[in-house]
Structure 1
Amino acid sequence: MAEQPVGVAVIGAGVMGTAHAGAVAADPRARLVGVASVPVDAARALAARHRAPVATDDYTRLLTREDVALVIVATPDHLHTEIAVAAAEAGKALLVEKPLATNLADADRVIAAVERAGVTAMTSFNHRWIPSYAEAKAHIAAGAIGRPRLAYARKNDRIHVPTQMLTWAERTTPAWFLSSHDIDLVCWFLGDDTAVETFATGVRGVLDAQGIQTPDAIQAQVRFASGAVATFESCWIYPDTYPTMTDSFIEVVGEHGVVHLDRKDDQLEIATPTEFRYPRTSIMPVLHGVQAGALALAVGHVVGCVVDDTEPLVPLAHSRHVTAILDAIHRSLDSGGSVAV
């Protein structure tokens, strides 16, 4: 007899929650039990789309259900912790959108709750499932460029993101929102989770003038125990005429080689009488009506971990290290000097 599908609850019905729900609905090993969001109308619409029986503005209703085994936390950055801790304490497996938390104390609270409960948990660093990034990791790990010594990562958004897409932009920064992916990837490529020092600078003014109190852009240099150095750039004031929502680039320089990952156009260009654009196709494409791409693969990976009782690709200890680097970047911004990670 076939095993019952993994019951999944999605908390948050925004852009990411919508994609997560679609990925669950597309996985034959999983079943979307319910969606929670505030206001509840978004949860109702998303649940109805995928024929999930529960839509609520009280996520704790989903945590008490015996048919929910996995909880996906797709809320704004600063709202992950309480939900993740409550889900772990309810004995549910967890997939938490990046970053795990926006300070180390909260990251430690989540990790402690997961360890006490003994549940499966992973941060959704979905870029690891983009084929070119996974291929880069394999080549670097095989020694194709020698020992990595230098990295540069840029992830810059159009101003649409902090001014229109996010209602909570002033509760985060471009580094928390964007560089978290890049810090995960660069640490993964370097094979080094021992960042020791960072120095960061930022610029403000464009968003402040619109009443959104958050930096326009941040650059940070991070030194690792191995001696490698990485620079992380995040900006979200590109003009909305820029042809892609996100300008994304990573370079890793080794002792005798280099890897470039330019994901600006995802190989697709579209020109019409009114615009020229590069649609995003790597992370959350809907292919023939089915949610696909790196995010769906990450969701499927965690579903598989629940089914097979295996460890996720991204350990929570690594997610904590990403938070520690971001915490140090923001302490450096505040102090104006270099700080220890």
Structure 2
Amino acid sequence: MGSEVGVCIIGAGRAGRIHAVNYRKSVPYAQLVAIVDPNRAAAEEAARELGIERVYTDYREALADDRIHAVVVVTPTVYHREIVVAAARAGKHVLCEKPMAMDERECDDMIAACAQAEVKLQLAFMRRFDESFREAKRVIEDGAIGDVVLVKSLTRGPSTPQPWMYDLKKSNGPLAEVSSHDIDALRWFAGSEITELYAAGGNYRCPDIRETYPDFYDNVTMTVKFQDGKTGSIDGAMGVQYGYDSRVEILGTEGVIFLGQTHERTIVTANRSKTLTRPFMNSWRSLFKEAYLAEDTDFIACILEDRPPSVSGHDGKMAVKVVEAGNRSLTSGEVVKLKA
């Protein structure tokens, strides 16, 4: 491998393009080698935009390419386990987008395959690489707000779900697709595991699919209890229209931390109507642009330095475990206790 890591992006969608641009232009000691997507037109379009030549429609062909040392898996969740296990067996390091997999068993398979092959497995919880999130973690560890007692996190997106997301058997619903980052944020800031939860939600914005997908929900709230007694809450929504909204509140015995911003630019406009207007945050791609780059850079660094990834397969598995329990609570209407 030498001093440069050859990277392949598997999945040419929105998040895949972010990783691809980073590895093509901005990540030291990395070279974007190839793009994989079963839709050849999408893969070729991405390759043209990025100025690379190698395109695959079958990820297995990419795994046989000796110029590729690491892959970034950015496909629908239902395919993660298959691709990550195959990549590990081919000796490729793996950065896997959230949610890690469909269930805990699949997560265990992925972790075991990467451990056996002695390749890195990093989970793409990019918020851990956001500078404000990192500073909040340092403030907590320094004791500036006393002992943490409550962590609240919300993520609301403006766009309607992709068609495959309506089927919970393929997506695990918004708790997985939207709220996985919130679940990880709660665990990270609390420094403890979730042992009990209750979730409630419903489909309020997608009436056309209620008959075909009666279990789908586009709004969810979840309250949790941690092993050490802390509490937390999550608020997730899709198709809210007003913008992209991501905020965290961490309450301690001696203070509080607020994370997140709702404005995309600093301009504020006032006019004769005596009102102030300010552009609302448009997309996660804007809010976490630098966090994605820091995450992608750290992945290459952990390979070259031969150190554990900053966000592990275990972190991904714990989020999946909470998603599964949350979906059970939504279905049953009951509090769910999680086994250790």
Alignment of 1:271-282 (within 5 A): 277-280=279-282
The residue number in structure 1 matching 2:274 is: none
Distance 2:259 2:289 in 1: 21
Distance 1:279 1:196 in 2: 34
Change (3 A) 1:334 1:279: closer
Distance 2:185 2:34 in 1: 31
The residue number in structure 2 matching 1:21 is: 20
Question: What residue identity is the alignment partner of 1:12?
Answer: G
Question: What residue identity is the alignment partner of 1:338?
Answer: V
* Pairing partner for 1:170 from 153, 156, 166: 166
Alignment of 1:1-12 (within 5 A): 3-12=2-11
Distance 1:4 1:219 in 2: 46
Indicate the SS of the match to 1:277. Answer: coil
Question: What residue identity is the alignment partner of 2:312?
Answer: P
Change (3 A) 1:284 1:300: farther
Task: Give yes or no for the alignment of 1:219 onto 2:221.
Answer: yes
* Pairing partner for 1:300 from 283, 297, 300: 297
The residue number in structure 1 matching 2:157 is: 157
Distance 1:263 1:59 in 2: 38
Indicate the SS of the match to 1:314. Answer: coil
Change (3 A) 1:3 1:156: same
> Do 2:28 and 2:297's aligned partners in 1 also have CA atoms closer than 8 Å?
no
Indicate the SS of the match to 1:17. Answer: helix
Question: What residue identity is the alignment partner of 1:304?
Answer: A
Distance 1:266 1:259 in 2: 21
Indicate the SS of the match to 1:227. Answer: coil
- Write out the 4+ residue segments of structure 1 that deviate beyond 4 Å after TM superposition: none
Task: Give yes or no for the alignment of 1:96 onto 2:93.
Answer: no
Question: What residue identity is the alignment partner of 2:145?
Answer: I
Q: Offset at 1:4?
A: 4.1
Tell me the C-alpha RMSD between the 2 structures. Answer: 2.3
The residue number in structure 2 matching 1:124 is: 124
Q: Offset at 1:276?
A: 6.4
* Pairing partner for 2:233 from 220, 228, 231: 231
The residue number in structure 1 matching 2:272 is: none
Indicate the SS of the match to 2:119. Answer: coil
Task: Provide Cα deviations, 1:9-45, integer angstroms capped at 9, x if missing partner.
Answer: 1000000011110011122311111111121111111
> Do 2:93 and 2:119's aligned partners in 1 also have CA atoms closer than 8 Å?
yes
Task: Provide Cα deviations, 1:75-94, integer angstroms capped at 9, x if missing partner.
Answer: 12222111111111111100
Indicate the SS of the match to 2:163. Answer: coil
Task: Give yes or no for the alignment of 1:201 onto 2:200.
Answer: yes
Q: Number of residues paired by the alignment? A: 324
Indicate the SS of the match to 2:154. Answer: strand
Indicate the SS of the match to 2:238. Answer: strand
> Unaligned stretches of 5+ in structure 2?
270-276
Distance 1:224 1:217 in 2: 23
Question: What residue identity is the alignment partner of 2:296?
Answer: V
> Unaligned stretches of 5+ in structure 1?
none
Distance 1:62 1:128 in 2: 29
Task: Provide Cα deviations, 1:138-178, integer angstroms capped at 9, x if missing partner.
Answer: 101111111111111111112x231xxx2322133221111
Identity %: 30
